[in-house]
Amino acid sequence: MPKKSKLLSLVMSIVLLFSVAFIPMGVASAEEELSEEDLELIELLTAIENMPDEIILQGEDAIKAHIESEVSFHLELNENGESVVFRAASVSSIAGCVGAVGTALVVNFTPAKILKIKSALKSVGGATKFVKAVKPYYQMSREDKLSKTASLNQAVRLAAKDAGPDTREALLDLFGVSSVVGSCAAAFGN
């Protein structure tokens, strides 16, 4: 093997070794173990992601029934369309976020929009990957002194950065509902 090839091979090996050894801390933090609260949000988003199209096309009652059959909590809507979440597990700030997302989905979105949200969750790698990415991006945005709304919008955009514009828009629509912003901001950080 010529000297130049050996040298090039050695340099490339060193570069590869250093790139793996020194992964940026922001990337490593996205791989941290998920809390029970994060898992509850993932549970709801997974129910949306895996919802059969025929159920979505049946409308609000079928969507609500499907969500309730797939998650470990009961979602009720009062006369004002606001969510009342009955939890089997401990009540936390994420409970408000989960309830707000569930209510927004059932009350605020047409079947066509829900199909886009479902597709968007799949295209960003699924609910787990999405939640793992949103939380640190949200916290980073808040540290940069952005408002809760701007931080959540930026976090969703960054978490869906590899997806197309329609995907980002569908997720921004879901997480842009004012009740979702208010509830999820507390769940993702400050």
Please state the domain extents for the chain: 31-188
pTM for the full model?
0.71
The CA-based dihedral angle spanning residues 19, 24, 25, 31, taken in that order and rounded to the nearest 10 degrees:
-70
Cβ-proximal residues to 10 (8 Å cutoff; 6+ apart), any chain:
none
Output the pLDDT for position 33: 67
Q: What integer pLDDT is reported at residue 26 of this predicted model?
A: 42
Residues of the chain with pLDDT under 70: 1-33, 73-94, 190
User: What is the pLDDT at residue 115?
Assistant: 92
pLDDT at 28: 37
User: What b/e readout covers 53-76, taking b as 16+ CB neighbours within 10 angstroms?
Assistant: eebbeeeeebbbebbeeebebebe
